[in-house]
Structure 1
Amino acid sequence: MTRLIAGVAGGLSLATPDSRTRPTTGRTREALFSRLDARLDFTDLRVLDLYAGSAALGLEAISRGAEELVAVEAGRTAASVARRNAQAVGDALDQASARPARITVVEQRVQSWLSGAPAAHFDLVFVDPPYDVSTAALETLLVDLLPALSPLADVVIERSSRTPDLRWPAGYVGQPPRRYGETVLWFGESEDARVG
């Protein structure tokens, strides 16, 4: 069982999919959101959660004030769990008389969904692919993601500490990775295309 950390729905328990899905540990989620809290105001953010699993990362952002979440997950079981979690968070927002958020769970392969993604739309993106997705494939995905990002969007990637280091493609500014046990988080930001 996973719990949301903070915000309107803080403390809410979320269901997790079966053992084929690897949820982000509580320690890693706390470190991730502590870092994001230091640099972002979640209010009105449009969030994309790729390889969403239970959608815990995106729903944490919704709990903290984000206005929209699109969670993309190809696995039928995981997408069903993400929908149930989205409903629970939506109900918690309603009970707290908080501003409603738009939450959409898309059961589709990430690369396929990206081909029709809205342009310059998302302010914060979580990318948590299965560890067997190669670093080269992930770098290609980041190129395909770029048109969907608003200027200066934040992108967070979760990988195994055993995977090869990521090289951010042109269009991104990367920060040094942070390691949490067997997990490494990569933080990047899309460049502002309006500059120059």
Structure 2
Amino acid sequence: MRIITGSARGTRLKAPAGDGTRPTADRTREAIFSMLGARVYDARVLDLFAGTGALALEALSRGAAHAVLVDAATHAILAENARRTKLAAQSDIRRGDVYGQVAALARDGRTFDLVFADPPYAHGDNARVLAALDAGALLAADGLLVLEQGAGEEIIERSGSLSLVRERRYGAARICFYAQEVQE
């Protein structure tokens, strides 16, 4: 696994041993960033269930301004990968429960232009992630949530103010894009 393009292009990322973490495949990541296009530039990024940090670090490599990476189990690997890519200064790496960190970020009044969430497949976290982000108002008004889930999992069309705007399947993964509904 490597950073695809940008300032850290070609940098190999360290992955945790075992099968407890399921990194987003390079091909899937490339497709995600192709769909995001210029939206990444200067973005404030939140990466939940960050694992290796590949999504946030790819965004930073492509010109995002800052990223918060959250994972309960991979703090040391996230720090190592941020150093390897020379993106540590733009990375705020947080260890702990994702939902506790989401609540803390909400209390601090933080908002993000891009939120990546890659919870464990088939554990029922998709609805909980959507609800937590909506309740915390962490997604900026014109922000986008990119949720990776198993291809066979139910697609959630709407959760609070968040609505599905696009979805694509890549092998065993389904990528769902959510945005806030426009209030009239």
Common fold by TM > 0.5: yes
| TM-score, L = length of structure 2 | 0.90
2:23 aligned residue: 23
2:48 aligned residue: 50
1:190 shift after superposition: 2.2
Tell me if the contact between 1:120 and 1:151 (Cα under 8 Å) persists in the aligned partners.
no
Deviations 1:64-112 (CA, angstroms, capped at 9, x unpaired): 001110000001xx2211110011222xx6xxxxxx8520110111111
Tell me if the contact between 2:122 and 2:150 (Cα under 8 Å) persists in the aligned partners.
no
User: Percent identity over the alignment?
Assistant: 36
The alignment status of 1:144 with 2:132, answered yes or no, reads yes
2:71 aligned residue: 73
**In structure 2, how many angstroms separate the alpha carbons of the residues matched to 1:165 and 1:150?**
22
Tell me if the contact between 2:166 and 2:176 (Cα under 8 Å) persists in the aligned partners.
yes
**In structure 1, how many angstroms separate the alpha carbons of the residues matched to 2:42 and 2:72?**
27
1:130 aligned residue: 120
**In structure 2, how many angstroms separate the alpha carbons of the residues matched to 1:190 and 1:72?**
22
| SS of residue matched to 1:185 | strand
Higher Rg of the two aligned structures: 1
Greater than 6 Å deviation, 4+ residue runs: none
The alignment status of 1:162 with 2:117, answered yes or no, reads no
**In structure 1, how many angstroms separate the alpha carbons of the residues matched to 2:68 and 2:100?**
14
Aligned-pair Cα RMSD in Å = 1.7
| TM-score, L = length of structure 1 | 0.85
Q: Any stretches of 5+ residues in structure 1 without a counterpart?
A: 94-99
Q: Any stretches of 5+ residues in structure 2 without a counterpart?
A: none
